[in-house]
Amino acid sequence: MKKILVTGATGQLGSELSVLAPSYPQYDWVFADRTQITLDNLEMLQSQLEAICPDVIFNCGAYTAVDKAESEKDLVFTVNHLAVELIAKYAREKNVRLIHVSTDYVFDGTSSIALDEKAETKPINVYGESKLAGEIDCLKENPESIIIRTSWVYSKFGNNFVKTMQRLMQEREEINVVNDQIGSPTYAADLAKAMIDIIESSKWIPGIYNYSNEGEISWHEFALGIKELGDYNCKVVGIPSSAYPTPAKRPSYSLLDKKKIKTVYNLEVPNYKDSLRKMFA
């Protein structure tokens, strides 16, 4: 029986994988939180991997507090870069399949067309820099890895934009949401299923893939979709990013082109509205 190790088990993606896992009893699932897989302590991490001895690793663990990352650079790079490098090296030496999750924040946001896997990377914040460094050394240490870049992840688990909006729309009469950052949300349950589909597939084609739901929207439009589904009375006002300054810059355009993953692994990618409806249900 193949053993699948899921790092970051209590995060959005890890939690959605744990919901799906019982439907795949042919695998021995190991869901490791930050005490079992310690991404910020490389010595411990090495021995933890050796103790678990997985056949497949879904590396969903990461430092994702984008604004806080600006002032915690060493920690961010340990978790998002050095730990990834170590996991990739371990996977190569032990012949383990590795799927590592990355982000649209590796881009600078100046594109006007959907970004494919070959688009130029140029992060504009510490989080994006750390994730790009992780990608580069992941493939350097283990060219057989699969990296999936995703964007705007939400889920019924953890903290995310959808749950924040649901709360604010019930508490307030009016909220402001930026309307000049364009991309597409990703329902973590859809991404979790895609990762399992890749493992279930008869082929393993390493490299970088993009995955997010279909649709091209702003955060403001996303908020309006949440308002509609939740039937909230709150007024949602669109504002420019300049009116909502944050410690970390965000890419203004980071829509991902999903053609590659759809073609190679024959995946159906749901529209963001259908997935949002599913989460609400």
Is 85 part of a structural domain of the chain? yes
Q: Count of alpha carbons within 13 Å of 149, Cβ hemisphere only?
A: 29
Is 241 part of a structural domain of the chain? no
Instruction: Please report the pLDDT score of residue 53 as a whole number.
Output: 98
Is 39 part of a structural domain of the chain? yes
Tell me how many domains the chain contains.
Answer: 1
Instruction: Please report the pLDDT score of residue 48 as a whole number.
Output: 98
Is 176 part of a structural domain of the chain? no
CA-closest candidate to residue 229, choices 169, 159, 171: 169
Is 68 part of a structural domain of the chain? yes
- Answer whether 234's CB lies under 8 Å from 227's CB: yes
Instruction: Please report the pLDDT score of residue 30 as a whole number.
Output: 98
Is 67 part of a structural domain of the chain? yes
- Count the Cβ atoms, other than its own, within 10 Å of residue 176: 14
Rounded CA-CA distance 163/171 in Å is 13
β-partners of residue 37 are none
pLDDT digits (tens), the chain, 281 positions: 999 999 999 999 999 999 999 999 999 999 999 999 999 999 999 999 999 999 999 999 999 999 999 999 999 999 999 999 999 999 999 999 999 999 999 999 999 999 999 999 999 999 999 999 999 999 999 999 999 999 999 999 999 999 999 999 999 999 999 999 999 999 999 999 999 999 999 999 999 999 999 999 999 999 999 999 999 999 999 999 999 999 999 999 999 999 999 999 999 999 999 999 999 99
Choosing from 63, 90, 105, 127, which is the catalytic residue?
127
Is 113 part of a structural domain of the chain? yes
Rounded CA-CA distance 199/61 in Å is 18
- Looking up residue 23, the CATH number of its domain turns out to be 3.40.50.720
CA-closest candidate to residue 66, choices 130, 136, 147: 130
Is 180 part of a structural domain of the chain? no
Instruction: Please report the pLDDT score of residue 63 as a whole number.
Output: 97
Domain boundaries, position 115:
2-160+186-214+255-271
Instruction: Please report the pLDDT score of residue 52 as a whole number.
Output: 98
Tokens of 100: 């590592």
Q: Whole-prediction pTM value?
A: 0.97
CA distances from 160 to 167, 259, 269 (A): 11, 26, 21
Rounded CA-CA distance 80/40 in Å is 9
Instruction: Please report the pLDDT score of residue 180 as a whole number.
Output: 96
Does 127 qualify as catalytic in the annotation? yes
